[in-house]
């Protein structure tokens, strides 16, 4: 595996825990997006980026500066994978929608495919393109029992690209 970093934005600790799980499984480090900068981008071939979704599909607060880092960086030759967490019951119409904003900021990179919407219960999400989420999405609030299996299946699917 090429040099990889997991970058997360977390307000309550849920996305941080998921990022740490992913980083541990890959044998790499997790970095809070508050510490994300051009040097982190330059030092890594692979960026695994994660956010929680708030309110009406909004990014986790610290990600607004992170989006600017991505937009200003040259992502040519970089591989990007995305993950997000949300609440599919309380926010069924914006489930994990913030991922789309990160996805849009990563244009120019090799963005790895996300997961199918099959098996998820939600009404709408900006993060769905052609029947698939733009990354791995997790509902650790209502479907905590599926988190580990979904992470493992996603990592197995993308490991060959990292």
Residue 109 has pLDDT above 90, yes or no: yes
Q: What is the pLDDT of residue 35?
A: 97
Q: Are 49 and 22 in contact (CB under 8 A)?
A: no
Q: How far is CA 142 from the centre of its chain?
A: 19
Per-residue confidence (pLDDT) for residue 17, from 0 to 100: 96
Q: What is the reported pLDDT for 7?
A: 98
For residue 54, the enclosing domain spans: 4-161
Report the SS3 class of residue 149: helix
Above pLDDT 70, what percent of the chain? 100
| Whole-angstrom distance, CA of residue 40 vs CA of residue 42 | 6
pLDDT of residue 55: 84
Task: Give the count of domains, the chain.
Answer: 1
Average predicted confidence (pLDDT) for the chain: 96
- Are 81 and 46 a contacting pair, CB within 8 Å? yes
Average pLDDT over residues 112-137: 96
pLDDT digits (tens, 9 = 90+) for 76-95: 999 999 999 999 999 999 99
- CA-closest candidate to residue 103, choices 53, 141, 139, 152: 53
What does the pLDDT look like over 9-68, one tens digit per residue? 999 999 999 999 999 999 999 999 999 999 999 999 999 999 999 988 899 999 999 999
The CATH number assigned to the domain holding 111 equals 3.40.50.360
Q: What is the pTM of this model?
A: 0.96
- What angle, rounded to 10 degrees, do the helices at 144-158 and 14-26 form? 40
């Amino acid at each position: 595996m090429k040099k990889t970093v997991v970058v997360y934005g977390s307000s309550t600790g849920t996305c941080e825990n998921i990022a740490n799980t992913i980083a541990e499984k890959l044998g790499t480090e997790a970095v809070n997006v508050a510490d994300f900068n051009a040097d982190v981008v330059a030092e890594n071939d692979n960026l695994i980026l994660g956010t929680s979704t708030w309110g009406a599909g909004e990014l986790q607060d610290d990600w607004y500066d992170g989006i600017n880092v991505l937009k200003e960086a040259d992502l040519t030759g970089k591989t990007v994978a995305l993950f997000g967490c949300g609440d599919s019951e309380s926010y069924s119409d914006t489930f994990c929608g913030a991922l789309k904003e990160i996805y849009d900021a990563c244009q120019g990179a090799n963005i790895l495919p996300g997961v199918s919407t099959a098996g998820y219960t939600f009404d709408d999400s900006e993060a769905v393109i052609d029947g698939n989420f733009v990354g791995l999405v997790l509902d650790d609030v209502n479907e905590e029992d599926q988190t580990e299996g979904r992470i493992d299946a996603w990592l197995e699917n993308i490991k060959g690209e990292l």
